[in-house]
Amino acid sequence: MNTPEDTPAALVFKPRTSKWFTLIAFVLVGMGLVSLAATEGPAGLLGAWPLLAVAYGAWWLFWYPTVVVDRTAVTLRNPLATISVPWAALVHVDTKYALQLVTPRRSYSAWAAPAPGVWGTHAGKVEHLTNLPASSYGPGASVRPGDLKHTDSGYAAFLVRSRWESMIDSGELDVDQTDSARVTRRVNWILIVPALVLLGASVASQGTG
């Protein structure tokens, strides 16, 4: 039985560019608010709903999405839904278009871990395709561009596969439960509703401007 000291810590993956996109959006929104207050006075801030919608959208689409790897499941925090895939339900990890967790019933993609484009693929080095988990390699020890460890999809897949294979090797994972394990999916209404409110307020403020 694992003690708290033996239990692996949860690993949280965010895309490398998420903080920069979010920061740039927040800086631009801040400059817009200052400019609005300077030109129209404090009352002008009442029409700042589009700027607030941009700030919220940046946080929601860039900063919030994550992949969480812990001892019980892999959790994909996507903008519209949060999906938790128990280890027993996982049968394959794909990276063709993004990190994709494949189960016997369907597959689930991670917003936070898209596969690389042409530039990301060509930026790969030898160290990015060596010492990967065994399931990363295809025929002839080939590696898909989305599995390169310097990419978002590749590094997220590296975290998932490493934990998954470790659990299999240690006997901690009961593969007989694959068909009975259930994925949980929860719609992120607590995030969607504010987005709709801000969008509606933005449209209304433009209509009365």
Question: Stretch 36-60: mean pLDDT, rounded?
Answer: 87
User: What are the pLDDT digits (tens) for 162-191?
Assistant: 999 888 888 888 777 777 889 999 999 999
Question: Stretch 56-70: mean pLDDT, rounded?
Answer: 96
Q: Inform me whether the pLDDT recorded for 40 exceeds 90.
A: no
User: What are the pLDDT digits (tens) for 69-85?
Assistant: 999 999 999 999 999 99
User: How does residue 38 score in pLDDT terms, banded at 50, 70 and 90?
Assistant: confident
The whole model's pTM is what? 0.85
Structure token pair of residue 205: 């403020």
Residue 163's Cβ-side half-sphere holds a number of Cα atoms within 13 Å equal to 23
> What is the reported pLDDT for 147?
79
User: How does residue 1 score in pLDDT terms, banded at 50, 70 and 90?
Assistant: very low
Q: Inform me whether the pLDDT recorded for 208 exceeds 90.
A: no
User: What are the pLDDT digits (tens) for 115-141?
Assistant: 876 554 545 555 455 556 656 666 555
**Residue bearing tokens 């920061």:** 23
How far apart are the C-alpha atoms of 103 and 88, rounded to whole Å?
Answer: 9
> What is the reported pLDDT for 122?
45
> What is the reported pLDDT for 179?
78
> What is the reported pLDDT for 135?
65
Q: Inform me whether the pLDDT recorded for 160 exceeds 60.
A: yes
> What is the reported pLDDT for 194?
96
> What is the reported pLDDT for 68?
97
